[in-house]
Structure 1
Amino acid sequence: MIPSNILGVFTPPEESRPIPDEENCLACQVMGSLTCLAGGIYFMSEIPFQGSNSSTKKNPLWWKNSVKTTGLGLFMFGIYRGGEGWLWNKHLKYKGSLF
């Protein structure tokens, strides 16, 4: 019988380790930053509310403001993530990559 690791989800292993600086990846940082920036711009625009969902009954004002605020948060996190390592947290070291 093949051992299962599903119990590891509910009972995590005792030992955990901090992620060392050598495991920071520049490509991962760029992709994460771009994803947050694009998602934030999408949610701050009117695009999610266009089409058949444009009635105020389906999208009340409080919901639109909540979605736009979430988009602003994503956008700000994308800016933070993109500047990490060269504007702030300058001590970060990236592992070698193709770039």
Structure 2
Amino acid sequence: MGFKVRLSHLIVPGKYEEMAEWFRIQDKQRSENDSNYRPPKRYINQFGESFRVECEFMFDELPSDPLVYGVTNQQEFFTFIVPGSTTMDVWKEID
């Protein structure tokens, strides 16, 4: 049985390319530091002038210190997202 954690962020207009490059750099660094690192799946949705990015993380067990908006060691990521637009959903796989 597993869990899916989905984070959704509204992207600041004009920041999509910069954010996508940031994701690539972070995934590369994390892979180099942890051979077990699995990058999250990411999806993009455009509506009007806005983009929303969805990041899906898969876990066998939920982390004891869950992903919480505003708690991160990656403050530069906040420059890409509209404050207050982040949502988080946790899904449990059905046996």
Give the TM-score range, shorter chain. Answer: under 0.3
Q: TM-score, normalised by structure 1?
A: 0.27
**Greater relative contact order (Cα 8 A, min sep 6): structure 1 or 2?**
2
Higher helix residue share: 1
Higher strand residue share: 2
Q: Choose 1 or 2 for highest CA Rg.
A: 1
Q: TM-score, normalised by structure 2?
A: 0.27
